[in-house]
Each structure stands twice: as structure tokens, then as C-alpha cells.
Amino acid sequence: MQASALNHRDLFLRQHLYPAVSFDVPLLADGYGIVTSVGSSASKSWIGKAVILTPGRGWKSDPVGPESAGGYKILGGTSTIPLGTLQEVLVVEESEVEEAPAHLTPAQAAALPLTGLTGWRAL
């Protein structure tokens, strides 16, 4: 991870206004990094690429709401997903990264995922 971004959700977590708060899980849902290695089933073409993480899990395409029986979950600071972007190294599934827009700085790209996702879902 090379950059992480704060989101209003992170303030809610610190104020205990968000469900399943955990002090054992790294904070922050938004992040930018460089792929340094991949597992045996992932494409080797990812190595060296700048990526942003998909912060949400369990809601892919249904316009009404999450498909997952467990509901929609977001990275960072809760017990629902044991991952957060406020750490140096993070391991995720290949499907949970997108190539970072080349015209953005690491800080700008890190701030894009959750706010962009929120805006998209609001549409």
C-alpha cells in the first residue's frame, strides 16, 4: 500500500456510530498500491501495476441491494472483513482490485474507491 484515504465513515467508526467496530482490524477502506506478487491462480500481468482496491464486498450488480446473504460489507475497522488499507501489505483476491487511473496521483487514486462507489450506488 502506498496511499490510503480518509472517509467520513472512518470518523463514524471512531465515534462508535458504525456497526461491528473492531480495534483488531486495520482502519480505512480506500487505498492505492503496487502489486508486488500474485498467487498461482492470478494473472502475472498484475505484477508491477498500480491498483485501487474495491472497498465493498457482497454487492456486485443487483440494483436493488446486496446479493450476499451476509449483506454488504466494507473494508477497514470492522469485524465483518478483517482487512483495512492502513497497513503496508495487503492480500486480496484478484477480483478485488482495479487498475488505478494513470492520470491520478497515488493520493487522488486512493480517495476514489469508496466515494466513487457511494456516488455510483446513489444513482
C-beta separation of 100 from 52 below 8 A: yes
pLDDT of 120 higher than 80: no
For position 89, what pLDDT does the model report?
96
Burial of 115 (0-12, 13-18, 19+ CB in 10 A): middle
- What are the residues whose beta carbons fall under 8 Å from the beta carbon of 81, sequence distance 6 or more? 25, 57, 73, 74, 75
Burial of 12 (0-12, 13-18, 19+ CB in 10 A): middle
How do residues 8-38 score in pLDDT, each as one tens digit?
889 999 899 988 999 899 999 999 999 999 9
| CATH architecture of the domain formed by 3-105 | Alpha-Beta Complex (3.90)
Burial of 108 (0-12, 13-18, 19+ CB in 10 A): middle
pTM for this model (two decimals): 0.87
